[in-house]
Structure 1
């Protein structure tokens, strides 16, 4: 695209499911550290729309000369749900910036949010995107929380230096979800996993209270095209209780990268070395799988996990800053 095309009229229309490939492409271009495939985006939207809380989602495409130059969305996320809280996303292709495309799309989002009576809106950008940060600030958003991308280059990880570390407490063993499903059956293994996961996630730093996670909702995670059950590691007691966990998920469009989901322990089992043992085991699985990197995301307020990741060799990338307008 040349800059001259940006003088042609801009049209903004509602997005449809047919636009998912276009949305995934623009989202990946704007945030290359977290690319999307059409399959993963379609799956995430399907899960959102099937959720019993009936969260809202709406999307728009900005086009110039028949070419999509920006996308925008208004969403409600079931995991941190309030009927008057919304998440807004607006992404303009680099070649189309500086010509008012974002301003036009923002006006559409603001009108939509006003019509729905939104009391709180969350949006964000990376700290190395000053134009986006200024765009939000000028619209009355203020910083709410920061999250680091922490990345471990597995070529620099020396497993020999960690021999003797990560010893599990007596009466606890480490097993993958895939192996536990073979032992107990799929539903029993997943119910045990859900119980530990649901408690651990309640204490993950976020900008709002975590919504309860039912087993039925939890089950849908395993339909994701990115699931990697051998990389979901569980600390299980002799009584069959999952007291700690660390997840690895496949990365969109990058077979040499694995993403960490939740790493956490149940409250009664914290400060007993479970997190270190689980992270070391996950790194071992990643190396065996031939991964080049392991990525994880941590709130900058989560000092214990940041310290653990730093010990293991994870290094921070630019932080994602979540902004808030209003409040519920």
Structure 2
């Protein structure tokens, strides 16, 4: 068994949190990125709707510390104002060589105790389906599989886009044009993009949340680190925005991540 202790997260823990999260996220993250994100979010303010369901936002964090003083585990429980009432999102990760020794259980207890204190009704987490140990850990604590999401990776070094070129020409022949946000700058165009994001989110299976208002959407979509106006590719039908692919570059790996992709219904 682990002799780890649990404490609240401090600013000195960003490097350890980044290293742990990089083990489970599709793209690695830096301590600075985590800290910059944290500093962009105002202090939490939770409240309850007329049915007594949890609303507002907050993001408490904890770390598991070994007897040698090393951070070996990290957990965060968070919600945004537009999340479904009552929901809390949870991320919990323990260093691989310390798993199965109690740190994860202790972090999970801390999260559940806090969730109970704020009267959350549902905890939501994501994990890879080939991470058998994590799946078993979650199922033992009452989590149920709700949905599967899919990740695709394209190796650009061996990819040729020749097969896709006729698709572009076919779309253009129907009157669709392709631009980037760099070529169409300004708040009016960004608001059109915000509306496209908003209406197409309703097509995501299981999506039943509110959608961020313009300023928050802008901060968490097109103003994210690694997202540039030239990385926001827009399909237009006349003046109407009907599709978008927003790419986000990871400076560490030079990978391009599909931050969002959608097409409006006809």
1:267: how far off? 1.9
- Corresponding position of 1:282: none
Give, in whole Å, the separation in 1 of the partners of 2:11 and 2:192: 35
Q: Which has the higher strand share?
A: 1
1:218: how far off? 2.0
- Corresponding position of 1:91: 93
Residue 66 (structure 1) aligned with residue 65 (structure 2): no
- CA 1:66–1:116 in 2, change beyond 3 Å: closer, same or farther? same
Residue 25 (structure 1) aligned with residue 24 (structure 2): no
Contact 1:125 1:132 in 2 (8 A): yes
Give, in whole Å, the separation in 2 of the partners of 1:176 and 1:35: 26
Give, in whole Å, the separation in 1 of the partners of 2:236 and 2:163: 26
- Corresponding position of 1:315: none
- Corresponding position of 2:171: 168
RMSD, aligned α-carbons? 2.2
Give, in whole Å, the separation in 2 of the partners of 1:73 and 1:54: 16
1:70 alignment partner, SS class: strand
1:13 alignment partner, SS class: strand
Residue 217 (structure 1) aligned with residue 221 (structure 2): no
Give, in whole Å, the separation in 2 of the partners of 1:41 and 1:189: 29
Report how many residues are paired: 253
Q: Which has the higher helix share?
A: 1
- Corresponding position of 1:155: 157
Q: Which range moves more in the overlay, 127-136 or 147-156?
A: 147-156
Contact 1:36 1:252 in 2 (8 A): no
Q: Deviations over 1:228-259 (max 9, x none)?
A: 32121111232x2211111111125211x100
Contact 1:48 1:55 in 2 (8 A): no
Contact 1:35 1:252 in 2 (8 A): no
Ranked by relative contact order (alpha carbons within 8 Å, sequence separation 6 or more), the top structure is: 1
- CA 1:38–1:54 in 2, change beyond 3 Å: closer, same or farther? farther
Q: Deviations over 1:264-308 (max 9, x none)?
A: 12222xxxxxxxxxxxxxxxxxxxxxxxxxxxxxxxxxxxxxxxx
1:78: how far off? 4.1
- TM-score, reference length from structure 1: 0.71
Residue 45 (structure 1) aligned with residue 38 (structure 2): yes
1:32: how far off? 5.7
- Corresponding position of 2:139: 137
- TM-score, reference length from structure 2: 0.86
Q: Deviations over 1:181-224 (max 9, x none)?
A: 1xxxx212212221222211221224x41312321212213332
